[in-house]
Amino acid sequence: MIQIFNLFFTKIIFEHSLIICVKIDNIIHIDNINIYHKLLFIINMADLYNILGVSKQATSSEITTSYRHLAKIYHPDKSTGNQDKFKEISHAYAILTDDVKRRIYDLNGIEGIEMNERYKSHTRDNVFYEQSIKVPHNNTLFNNIFEQCFNNTETCDISVAPLIHNLDVEIKDIYNGCLKRITYYRNLICQSCYGKGYKPLQIKCEHCSHESAPYCDMCQSKGTCREKCTQCQGNKVISSENTIEVNIKRGMNDKFKINFENLGNEEPNKTTGDLIIQLSIINHSLFEIDVNNLKYHQNISLSEALNGVSREIVFIDGNTILLTTPSGQIVSTTDPLIYKGSGLPIYNEKSYGDLYVYYNIVLPKKIPFNIKKQVSTLIPH
């Protein structure tokens, strides 16, 4: 990089293309859209946290507390009010209290909310696309900008593979619908080393003496090497516990997948992956599921099989329903009786599946002799 008075000028080769970067009067001019976005989020990475006076590790409750304190000071209705400042802290609060937006912001900076869509619509072709970035005064991150952006020549994939989380649900959950709060673990880019895996400063190699060793695999005989990041142990990502609410809608069946964008794993130089919640229905003690239909097995007496069934059972929603057989019809043990519209709700429809009831006739162990004669007379061979 060349510095002439207040002018910084550099040219680099990035993915086999020439990138021109000029800084004039605290303004950076970039001729590549991808480099522009990288610079932008590095420079502005801490701005929203600074606006609210909290650290990047602040919890949602700490952010809310700080916002409420500042809102009392800068609200336009107060004597100390400042409308512009109030809008600024409200904007910061809206982003940092939204889990999805906060993660995107932490990775991609002030324009991170829109960056994912831009990356999807733009290719990696290095066509001329000039952007200007205002660099805040005394910004300590600017010292590492060119190392962060220009020394990285890895190819950027579209996104990280989805993270699949199996969620056990009961039949009543998909019949009534419900909200479930789940905790899962995802990989996040280490904020200590920004996904590099090592500290920015080089240290003396402890595995060799540069002057005497013929060759050192650790430092390639350079005598110095990068110190592993103590936060991620060189893995570039750290495991993070996350909690979300999953809306189980009526009619979602077994293996149904619910997608949460950008809530999956993160990897350097890739778009954050999605989280996929896959439902797994726990077997019910009485009812079996066949897509949107239910199967139910019921023991009945010989008398009920001949004269008709009228029984109340407790349904999966806790209500009592009456099962009856058509008058004059003898119950079969092979073919189920079908109760139309008494099954599970069909997803995104107002209709229901059917209830298939399989009757098992329990025969008496003994029949008195006089009863046998009556049965033989009433039901001849």
Distance in angstroms (rounded) separating the CA atoms of residues 356 and 114:
51
Check for a shared fold between 157-196+239-282 and 287-378: yes
Phi then psi for 286, rounded to 5 degrees?
-120, -35
Q: How far is CA 155 from the centre of its chain?
A: 24
Distance in angstroms (rounded) separating the CA atoms of residues 342 and 294:
8
- 221's tokens: 């005989």
Which fold is adopted by the domain 287-378?
HSP40/DNAj peptide-binding domain (2.60.260)
Closest CA to 151 of 3, 10, 8: 10
Superfamily for domain range 157-196+239-282: Urease metallochaperone UreE, N-terminal domain (2.60.260.20)
pTM for the whole structure: 0.52
DSSP state, residue 235: S
Q: Using DSSP, state whether 234 is helix, strand or coil.
A: coil
Q: Could you report the per-residue pLDDT of 266-297, keeping only the tens digit for each?
A: 998 888 999 999 999 998 888 999 889 999 99
Quick one: what percent of the chain has pLDDT higher than 70?
A: 66
State mean pLDDT over 27-33: 53
- 72's tokens: 């009392």
Which fold is adopted by the domain 2-150?
Helix Hairpins (1.10.287)
- Cβ contact 38:45 at 8 Å: no
Given the DSSP bridges, would you call strands 237-248 and 178-189 parallel, antiparallel or unpaired?
antiparallel
> What are the residue ranges spanned by the domains of the chain?
2-150, 157-196+239-282, 198-231, 287-378
Distance in angstroms (rounded) separating the CA atoms of residues 67 and 82:
14
Q: Which residues of 118-135 are buried (b: 16+ CB within 10 A; e: fewer)?
A: ebeeeeeebeeeeeebeb
Which of the four pLDDT bands, split at 50, 70 and 90, describes residue 380?
A: low
Distance in angstroms (rounded) separating the CA atoms of residues 107 and 188:
9
β-sheet bridge partners, residue 11: 20
Q: Could you report the per-residue pLDDT of 308-328, keeping only the tens digit for each?
A: 888 898 998 888 889 888 877
Phi then psi for 128, rounded to 5 degrees?
-70, 125
